[in-house]
Amino acid sequence: MEAVEPGRHDAEIERLFGAGGPLGPAVGSYKPRRSQTEMAKAIASAIDSQTTLIAEAGTGTGKTFAYLVPALMWGGKTIVSTGTKNLQDQLFLRDIPTVRAALQAPVSVALLKGRSNYVCHYHLERTLQNGRMTSRDDVGHLREISRFIKMTSSGDKAELAKVPENAMIWNLVTSTRDTCMGAECQYYQDCFVMKARKEAQQADVVVVNHHLFFADVALKDTGVAELLPSANTIIFDEAHQLPDTATLFFGNTVSTSQILELCRDVLAEGLAHARGIDWAKTVTVVEKAARDLRLTFPQDIVRMSLPQIAPSSDFFPALETLKDELDGMVAVLDTQAERAETLEQCRVRGVELAQQLSSWKFDPKAKIAAGEEAVFWVEAFSSSLQLHKTPLSIAPIFNNQREGTPRSWIFTSATLAVKNDFKHFSEQMGLTGEPSHTWPSPFDYGQQGLLFVPQNLPQPNSLGYTDAVIDCALPIIEAAGGRTFFLCTTLRAVKRAAERLAEEFKQRGLNFPLFVQGERGRTELLDQFRAAGNGVLIGSQSFWEGVDVRGDALSLVIIDKLPFAPPDDPVLAARIEVMEKQGKNGFMHHSLPEAIINLKQGAGRLIRDEGDRGVLMICDPRLISKPYGKRIWQSLPPFKRTRDTAEVIEFFRSLPASS
């Protein structure tokens, strides 16, 4: 841990964050917190010296204000990148306006999302004319979107609550990099994407999300590339998500559904603009080849690296057939593209897809692509197949992005360190040697919470493990009066837990409403859980982080297993193999720190406020039985610890009646 030198803004930060400072009146419940003030000083100093800072701040520190105050006061042109679009909206609509008003800072702020978040005038018009609706829902949603586009100034679909974010219709009324007409479009002057980018270029502070940041750095498409050169300060909030997000975008993915979408557009545009060709025949052979490639895996969901695919598999010849047929369609488009801008666009998309497929030249016996430090793997879904090429390390690529103009880079999250050691995160991101610091949570975890590891549970890989966890959990859920998050590491466990708990609650006459991931959208489930006051919510990965339930509605967080990544994950397996060749222990260097950071996120759901009290129940016996267990629980907040069910029940009994 590096010592943080005093900076020239320290006195001003003490005043702004102090008891009589401007933040108090602006935020009803604001109280000065030493860790927040010190973190703000460190960030101001990094901004001043145009250096990098890795900043971990325990839950309740108030890290958002700790970076926003120095950024708005001294950050110059600032890009703030968050983990999700929800957090992005919260920053833009709530947090930044609050701080800006409190500081009376004359800064302009813009929100920038990926193009799929903005309604596209051209595609909406086309969809209205074509009427390719597949359901009654689509028709109703389309009507709402037509109304919305006349009233909105941003075109951001988040503003239209009546149409669910995942509704299929959005694909038909938004553009992609492939289907955008650019300056040729008749609606170019009114384009919401262009408008958002223009506002972002002119603003002092721009709020983006990690997906957008890295998609752009990789594709040069989304407007961040135009912002980066002039940015003085870049802040990544929820920075623990960066390694996964960056890996996703610095890799290369091509899917059969992209190819089928192209075929659909080629057929429509071909019939409209070049009638002399048998477009149905041209397209059908490519569609068949794409579907045949998917059918080389009979199972519904598959993740396999190339060496795991048997050399005799139909996959390899089917891939060659698809390459050939796609080349054939591109050759036809070459002869017709000049007839219409939209046909030229299809040709360009076809060429790009063909290039991506041709980069799949590999030696099936080599786990890692020669000279590329990348792993080839396939992922099959119920109706599509994705071919991935993923870099084993993003550090060199990300370091290239950070070279050039000096600016400050701030990485912050509640979970970046493993027992105060930042090595895992900094090595993944190529930040070795950069200053890092942890500011502890102001919460009194010893008084506010209890860490409970039940006794006599079987090993997590044993048959019936989820049922054993539920048997253990039932008396604790009852003692807590519901008010529970039941966090599982697999969707299968979510399903089993939901079945069993519904059964048990009915038999025991327990009136705890059950909320299960997948039954409704995440936001709706959380709102209903909060409103119920005695609910039990069962979820997997998407509920482990970014979820804030304060007060009485949540008093018990149950975690079924330590969240180790599945050992058959093809990218993980290849990473570990490389580490072991370098003489490192893949489990201790990679799998364990990843699981700890993940577990810290899950544990962080419990205590969200100084008044919160509750129990964190981790059911995995490895926390006690394995030598690495100590490293795990020492990385968690310093709860009082117990293995005694009676002590947990007594803890709940002693809570104030209103709780």
Question: In degrees to the nearest 10, what's the CA dihedral of 275, 280, 283, 285?
Answer: -140
pLDDT value of position 447: 92
AA letter at 300: D
Residue range(s) occupied by CATH 1.20.120 in the chain: 252-391
What is the pTM assigned to this prediction?
A: 0.88
Cβ-Cβ contacts under 8 Å for 584 (sequence gap 6 or more) = none
Q: Dihedrals φ, ψ of 108, to 5°?
A: -95, 145
Second CATH level (architecture) for the domain 10-111+195-248+394-439: 3-Layer(aba) Sandwich (3.40)
Within 10 A of 352 (CB to CB), how many other CB atoms are there?
A: 16
The tens digit of pLDDT for each residue in 61-98 reads 999 999 999 999 999 999 999 998 888 989 999 999 99
Task: Check whether 126 has a pLDDT greater than 80.
Answer: yes
E strand or H helix at 402: helix 395-402
Q: Inter-axis angle of helices 63-74 and 96-103, to 10 degrees?
A: 50
- Which tokens go with 396? 């060199």
pLDDT at 591 (0 to 100): 92
What is the model's pLDDT at position 134?
65
pLDDT at 208: 94
pLDDT digits (tens, 9 = 90+) for 460-474: 999 999 999 999 999
Strand partners for 412 = 55
Task: Give 657's pLDDT tier (boundaries 50, 70, 90).
Answer: low
Q: Is the pLDDT of residue 371 over 60?
A: no
- Give the span between the Cα atoms of 249 and 269, in whole angstroms: 30
What share of the chain has pLDDT > 70, as a percent?
A: 95
Containing H/E element for 332? helix 315-336
The residue length of the chain stands at 659
CA distances for 74 relative to 391, 558, 637, angstroms: 36, 43, 33
pLDDT attached to residue 574: 85
Closest to 477 in 3D by CA, of 449, 508, 455, 446: 508
DSSP, res 368: B
- For 523, counting Cβ atoms within 10 Å of its Cβ (0-12 exposed, 13-18 middle, 19+ buried), the class is exposed
The CATH architecture one would assign to domain 445-653 is 3-Layer(aba) Sandwich (3.40)
Confidence of residue 166 (pLDDT cuts 50, 70, 90): confident
In the sheet with 484-487, reading across from the earlier edge strand, the strands are 514-516, 536-539, 484-487, 556-559, 614-618, 449-452, 640-642
CA 12 to chain centre: 35
Planar angle of CA 258, 260, 266, nearest 5 degrees:
105
CA atoms of 14 and 487, how far apart (whole Å): 40
Q: Residues 6 or more apart from 498 whose CB is under 8 A from it?
A: 514, 516, 538
Proportion of the chain above pLDDT 90, given as a percent: 64
| pLDDT above 50 (res 509) | yes
Token digits for 127? Answer: 């969809």
- Parts of the chain belonging to CATH 3.40.50.300: 10-111+195-248+394-439, 445-653
What are the E-state strand segments in 277-365?
302-305
Q: Which residues contact 197 (CB under 8 A, 6 or more apart)?
A: 112, 223, 226
CA 196 vs CA 156, 193, 206, 447: distances in Å: 10, 5, 10, 48
Q: If you ran DSSP here, which 8-state letter would residue 156 be given?
A: B
The CATH classification number of 252-391 equals: 1.20.120
CB 13 within 8 A of CB 65: no
Neighbours of 548 (CB within 10 A): 13
Q: How large is the average pLDDT for residues 176-186? A: 84
The tokens for 505 are 């609650």
Output the pLDDT for position 320.
94
Q: How far apart are CA 245 and CA 316, in angstroms?
A: 29
pLDDT of residue 372: 59
Confidence category of residue 659, pLDDT binned at 50, 70, 90: very low
pLDDT tier, 223 (very low <50, low <70, confident <90, very high otherwise): low
